[in-house]
Structure formats: C-alpha cells, structure tokens
Amino acid sequence: MNKNKFTPIANLGEFNLIDNLVSDIKINSSLTKMGIGDDAAVIPYLKNEDYLISTDMLVEGVHFDSAYTPLKHLGYKSIVVNVSDICAMNGHATHALVSLAIPNKYSLEHISTLYEGVKLACANYSIDLIGGDTTSSSSGLVINVSIVGKVNGKKITYRKGAKPNELLCVSGDLGAAYLGLQILERERYIFNENQNVQPELENYKYILERQLKPEARVDVIDILKKNEIQPSAMIDISDGLSSDIRHICKASNIGVKIFENKIPISSFTSEAAIELNINPTICALHGGEDYELLFTAPLAAQSKLEAIKDTHIIGHMTSTPFKIELITTSEQSVDISSDGWDSFIEKN
Ligand code: ADP
Ligand code: MG
C-alpha cells in the first residue's frame, strides 16, 4: 500500500474533514428540519415547538489534561458545552445522555467524582440524564454527551440568518478560558521541573474558573426573549471569536467588521495576558472555550441591546462574503484569518 496516497487528517483540519465526510449526505426523513451544519439539529415536535439535538466529546490529552483537571469540573463542563450548543439555537436543554470510555487507571471513586459534576450541571440547568453508554478505553478517558433541547419553531436562530448592516454582538467577555489554560500549562511545567513547588493559582481564580468550570449562557437567551430581541443568527464561541464568526459569515454568505476596542475583555484576562507576554486581543480573538454567545441582531435593536448589561455590540455585518475585518484600536483595518481551536492541527 502506498502511504503517499493517504491524506493526513492534520493537513485538513476539523472543518475540512467534516466537509469531506458529510458533503454528500442527503436528508432521507421528512422530519429533519435542520441536519448537519449548525450548533444542533432540528426536528419538529409540536406545532410550535421543535426538538434540538447535539453532541460533543471531551477527550483526555486533546480537550483536557488529567494532571490539572479536577474530575468534578470535567463532568460539569461535559454537560455545559452541550447546553451551550442548545443556547446557540435559542433553545433550552432538557435531556442528556452521557457515554464514557474509561481507561483502567481510573477507579470507581474517580468516575463517581466525575459524575458528581455531571449531576450538579444537570441540576443547575434543569436537565434529566436519561441514558448513555459505558465501555473501557485502551488510551485516555473519553466523555461524550448528547443533548436534547426544545425551542419555539419560529424563534430558532441558525448560523445562516445574518444580513449585511446588522449588529454583531457577544455576551460576557472573551479570552479568559484560553489564558486559564496557559496558566495551568505553566504551573504543570513548573511542577514537572520541581515537585516541591506548589502551584500558585490564587491570583488567577477568574480565568481558571472560565477554563475549568464554564457556564452556558441560558441567562442571555432568557434576557433577549424578555426584551423581545430576536437574534438573526447565533453561534456559541467554542473555537474562538475569529473561527466562530467565520461560520456565521460562511452560512449567511456575508462579511463582518469587528472593532477591537469593543471586544469585551476582563481585567483579569488582560493582566494574565500581559504577564504571559501575550496580546489580550489575540486571546479574545483566537482563544476558544469561552462558551459565550455570538449573535447578530437588526439595527433597530441597538438601544435595547445597549441597555442589557452583559451583551456587547462589537461590530456589524457587511455585504462582502467571508471578509472578516478587524478595525484595530489605532484604526487600522486588518483582514483576520482563522486561528481558532482545531484539535487536528498539530501545535508546536
Ligand atoms: P460545534 O462546534 O457547535 O459543536 P462542530 O463544528 O463540532 O459544531 O460541528 C459542525 C457541524 O458538523 C454540526 O452540525 C455537527 O453535528 C456536524 N458534525 C461534526 N462531526 C460530524 C461527524 N463526524 N459526522 C456527521 N456530522 C458531524
Ligand atoms: Mg457550537
């Protein structure tokens, strides 16, 4: 067999790989309202209510390092990242299935601790755990969660609904989860060099929590509804602002202009970035795992949006397909490329 005939997946990256696998998939069931291509699939349920279905996997050594990830947090996060995809469709999660592949280095006590986190998240988000699957793993721990939610069929927000001139908004703040990860990596490195050094994590509470125990922005969905703001497109930021806005632009066939000075960054994030000699804006643009909501809304919603404490208008959509333009603090226009998280691209 000629090895050169094979395409390494690392050359493709996650999104090209998915495109390759699914581009010829046809919808066979008349019940499928939305299949592949958004944060969740949509299947009609009642006249005015649809089911949302999504799944996400956390893999040891790829998405988490068992050396510094508390298992309870990991269980919690495995549910939250899925709830976040339901939020991104403007819906509410209702049911979850949890599947585990467990290597033999983990004990019952370890997995029970993981499940404490799963149960806590299910309680906090009012979700019923209704099943799953359990098997052994010959390498790392794998946690796969499938989630079901519901949404008013007329209020679903797809990635494809954005129009030129609409506002681009984001909830919360960005870049913190990435910096939390950098701090954990740094402390692990120091500990490996000298096991007598205790990690100093007290100063980094906010960013560590954002990495280890994120929350899904159900509150943002609720406040938008309360204010009668219907987002035209929405996605949750799992891979990074630059990468996830690209999905909205691609699906909506438009472009975007983002203003650097409008991107919300917590002072805890900026301080850690400066300490690590990284530009805070780079962290906010390209760092993933913040699980904030990125959405577009009509210009008419501007004053209502400005009045909501935890949402920020960071730019507007343009008519040039796929052009992602950053207007820097010094008013330079920069075309930004996708450097979001991709689990297949080898990092140095
Ligand atoms: P998200 O980051 O919101 O979880 P992804 O980028 O993982 O979304 O997935 C994008 C779309 O591709 C989704 O509709 C997802 O269900 C689909 N998808 C991802 N992997 C596969 C796969 N192996 N087979 C079929 N569909 C997939
Ligand atoms: Mg998503």
Per-residue pLDDT tens for 162-218? 999 999 999 999 999 999 999 999 988 888 888 877 777 888 999 999 999 999 999
Is residue 346 assigned to a domain?
A: no
Give tens-digit pLDDT for 31-64: 999 999 999 999 999 989 999 999 999 999 999 9
Q: Which of 119, 152, 185 is the last residue of a domain?
A: 152
Q: Which of 152, 167, 196 is the last residue of a domain?
A: 152
Pair (146, 183) in one structural domain = no
Pair (189, 240) in one structural domain = yes
Pocket of ligand 1 contains residue 22 by CB under 6 Å: yes
Q: Which long-range contacts (CB under 8 A, 24 or more apart) does 320-324 make?
A: 320/254, 320/255, 321/249, 321/253, 321/254, 321/255, 322/246, 322/249, 322/250, 322/255, 323/249, 323/255, 323/256, 324/242, 324/245, 324/246, 324/249, 324/255, 324/256, 324/258
Which ligand places an atom closest to the C-alpha of 341? 1
Q: Which of 152, 168, 196 is the last residue of a domain?
A: 152
Is residue 330 assigned to a domain?
A: yes
Pair (50, 118) in one structural domain = yes
CATH code: domain of residue 82? 3.30.1330.10
Pair (220, 114) in one structural domain = no
From ligand 1's centre to the CA of 78, what distance in Å? 16
Question: What integer pLDDT is reported at residue 190 of this predicted model?
Answer: 84
Q: In the chain, pLDDT over 70 holds for what percent of residues?
A: 95
Residue 243 pLDDT greater than 50, yes or no: yes
pTM equals 0.94
Pocket of ligand 1 contains residue 35 by CB under 6 Å: no
CATH code: domain of residue 280? 3.90.650.10
Is residue 235 assigned to a domain?
A: yes
Pair (298, 166) in one structural domain = yes
d(CA 132, CA 96): 8
For ligand 1, atom 8, the nearest C-alpha belongs to: 39
Which ligand places an atom closest to the C-alpha of 144? 1
From ligand 2's centre to the CA of 81, what distance in Å? 8
Closest atom of ligand 1 to CA, residue 39: 3
Residue 348 pLDDT greater than 50, yes or no: no
For ligand 1, atom 1, the nearest C-alpha belongs to: 39
For ligand 1, atom 16, the nearest C-alpha belongs to: 36
Pair (51, 132) in one structural domain = yes
From ligand 2's centre to the CA of 221, what distance in Å? 15
Is residue 345 assigned to a domain?
A: no
Pocket of ligand 1 contains residue 21 by CB under 6 Å: yes
Burial 83-94 (b: 16+ CB within 10 A, else e): bbbbbbbbbbbb
Pocket of ligand 1 contains residue 238 by CB under 6 Å: yes
Pair (242, 173) in one structural domain = yes
From ligand 2's centre to the CA of 57, what distance in Å? 12
| Total number of domains in the chain | 2
Is residue 21 assigned to a domain?
A: no
* Domain span holding position 127: 31-152
From ligand 1's centre to the CA of 167, what distance in Å? 26
From ligand 2's centre to the CA of 235, what distance in Å? 6
Which ligand places an atom closest to the C-alpha of 85? 2
